[in-house]
Amino acid sequence: MQIDTPIIVLVGPTAIGKTALSFQLADRFDCEIISMDSMQVYRYMDIGTAKPTRKEQERFPHYLLDIVDPDEQYNAARFVDDCLSVIGKITSRGKIPLITGGTGLYLSSLLNGLFDTVQVSDEIRRRLEQRFCRPGAPDPYDELCRVDPRSAARIHKND
């Protein structure tokens, strides 16, 4: 994946001052802020996420905050798609994207790519849950060992 525009990336753990610094950078370099936080994408998850306040969000444009409900799935692949879309919109206005957050997998996926994902139909997901997510169900890793031992040898049981 090739990104052909200047981007500022500010990375670090929760509550170390990234938000305050991102505001200074946004002021100085005419940036719009993209959240790279795996918890800030969720609506209603304001406690413990150091999410910028509404007032702060009004002062500086923010993206990828409060975009999914807590019961929705959000992952690195979706972040990359969303982030690239937002980067395009920001740069089309002549602004600089400022990506800030602490989710390293998101940054790594954005910079280095991520394995191709396959959409799993609801029917297949339901059948797998019925088979493996019940008391006394067979272990999925043991099943993998049985049907594809070569792949199982490359994958840790906890992955």
Contact call for residues 96 and 30 (beta carbons, < 8 A): yes
Contacts of 59 (CB under 8 A, 6+ apart): 23
Per the listing, tokens 């807590």 go with 70
Contact call for residues 35 and 67 (beta carbons, < 8 A): no
Looking at residue 47, what is its pLDDT? 84
Which residues of the chain are in CATH 3.40.50.300 domains? 8-112
Please give the CATH superfamily to which domain 8-112 belongs.
P-loop containing nucleotide triphosphate hydrolases (3.40.50.300)
Question: What's the token pair of residue 26?
Answer: 């946004």
Looking at residue 119, what is its pLDDT? 80
Looking at residue 1, what is its pLDDT? 53
Between vectors from CA 97 to CA 100 and to CA 28, what angle results, nearest 5°?
90
Question: What's the token pair of residue 125?
Answer: 């997901």
Contacts of 58 (CB under 8 A, 6+ apart): none
What pTM was estimated for this model as a whole? 0.72
Q: Which class for 24: exposed (0-12), middle (13-18), buried (19 or more C-beta within 10 A)? A: exposed
User: What are the CA-CA distances from residue 131 to residues 124, 140, 145, 152 (Å)?
Assistant: 11, 9, 16, 19
Element (H, E) at 140: helix 140-147
Question: What's the token pair of residue 136?
Answer: 């006394």
Q: What is the pLDDT along the chain (159 residues), one digit of tens a residue?
A: 567 789 999 999 877 889 899 999 999 999 999 999 999 999 998 888 888 888 998 999 999 999 999 999 999 999 999 999 999 999 999 999 999 999 999 999 999 887 766 788 899 989 989 988 989 888 999 989 999 999 889 888 877
Q: What are phi and psi of 73, to 5 degrees?
A: -85, 135
DSSP 123: H
